[in-house]
Each structure stands twice: as structure tokens, then as C-alpha cells.
């Protein structure tokens, strides 16, 4: 049943007004969670496309006529929103950041992690949003340009063998 829902829901659940699919992806619990309490996690987690959320009563395991809701301007939904639609504010201080910058442009919540990693000088790959360039000093950006797009994540044969060797030593392989 789970496999059927994972495959069918993103294609079948559509906005009746415009025919647009409202679900971006359905995750199995094993794709998101690990540990001793995995059995407590929901079997499936639905990620709605930006602009859609589950109906308000469904988040309380209650039924109503609506399966999903389309967010209107000025409306705030807390549960089930796409991460790129969530906003907040970031207060940060680091040598790599420009002084007294107030950024009013809306950026998705998913931009916080690459921004912090870039400020720390940590290499990262394949993150949905780029770092927020306007927060960095021009001197730092000259020496450390912000990466755009996903980077090649393929391992060399030597690195792959090293990882397999470590996994073998830990008893996983």
C-alpha cells in the first residue's frame, strides 16, 4: 500500500481549479528518519509543492471536506509547507559577514544552511538554495565566491575504497 501511495499521490492529487499537481514528493519514513524510535515515525511524509499545504483539520488527524489548501497572500500556514516557502529572520556575526547589513529581500529558509556553511568556509554540495551573497563582505566574496548549482558528488575510486574499508571495519559491509 505504501509503495502505491508513494508512486500515485504526486500524480493523482491535483488542484481542481488549474489541474496542477499539489504534491512534490512522498517520502517513506526510512528515507527521513533513523534510530531506535523509527517505528514511531509516520509511514509516509508528504511534501507539498510551494503554495499548497494540507487542510488545517488534517494536521490534527481530523477529517474535513478539503484535502489540501492553497495558501492565499498574507496567509500563514505552519504545518506541511514547502521549506522554500518558509521565512524568518537571521541574526549573525562572523568575520566573513559584512557589518550592519539588513537584508529585506525574502529568501527561503533553505538558504540559511548554505549561508552559514559558506560563512564558516565549509565545503558543501547539492543544497537547494544558494548562500545569501548580500550578507558577505566584498573582500570575503573575492576570496571565497559563492558556488552556484550542484557540484559533482562522484567519489574517486580511491575515496570509494576508503569509505568501503571504514564501513567494513565498522561491520556494515
pLDDT category of residue 142 using cuts at 50, 70 and 90: very high
Of the three residues 19, 54, 83, the one that is the final residue of a domain is: 83
Q: Are residues 98 and 140 in the same domain?
A: yes
All residues at 6 or more sequence positions from 22 whose CB lies less than 8 Å from its CB, including other chains: 13, 14, 15, 48, 49, 52, 68, 70
The answer, yes or no, to whether residue 11 has pLDDT greater than 80, is: yes
- Kindly state the DSSP code that residue 19 receives in the 8-state scheme: -
Domain end call among 83, 112, 142: 83
Rank 92-106, 127-141, 144-158 by mean pLDDT and report only the highest: 127-141
Higher-pLDDT residue of 154 and 156 is 156
Answer yes or no: do 160 and 110 share one domain. yes
Least confident of 54-58, 84-88, 96-100, 116-120: 84-88
| Parent domain of 24 | 2-83
Q: Do 75 and 94 belong together in one domain?
A: no
Helix (H) or strand (E) holding 146: none
Residue 116 and residue 76 share a domain: no
Q: Among residues 83, 98, 113, which one ends one of the domains?
A: 83
Structural domains in the chain (count): 2
Over residues 133-144, the mean pLDDT reads 90
Q: Which residue has the higher pLDDT, 127 or 154?
A: 127
Amino acid at each position: 500500500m505504501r509503495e502505491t501511495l508513494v508512486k500515485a499521490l504526486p500524480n493523482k492529487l491535483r488542484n481542481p481549479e488549474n489541474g496542477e499537481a499539489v504534491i512534490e514528493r512522498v517520502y517513506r519514513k526510512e528515507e527521513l528518519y533513523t534510530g531506535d524510535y523509527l517505528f514511531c515515525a509516520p509511514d509516509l511524509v508528504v511534501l507539498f509543492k510551494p503554495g499548497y499545504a494540507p487542510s488545517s483539520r488534517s494536521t490534527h488527524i481530523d477529517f474535513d471536506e478539503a484535502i489540501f489548501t492553497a495558501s492565499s497572500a498574507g496567509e500563514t500556514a505552519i504545518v506541511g509547507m514547502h521549506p522554500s516557502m518558509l521565512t524568518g529572520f537571521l541574526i549573525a556575526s562572523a568575520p566573513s559577514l559584512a557589518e550592519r547589513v539588513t537584508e529585506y529581500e525574502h529568501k527561503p529558509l533553505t538558504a540559511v544552511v548554505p549561508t552559514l556553511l559558506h560563512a564558516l568556509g565549509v565545503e558543501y554540495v547539492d543544497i537547494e538554495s544558494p548562500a545569501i551573497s548580500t550578507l558577505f563582505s566584498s573582500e570575503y566574496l573575492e576570496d571565497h565566491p559563492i558556488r552556484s548549482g550542484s557540484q559533482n558528488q562522484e567519489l574517486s575510486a580511491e575515496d570509494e575504497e576508503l569509505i568501503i574499508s571504514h564501513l567494513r571495519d565498522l561491520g556494515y559491509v
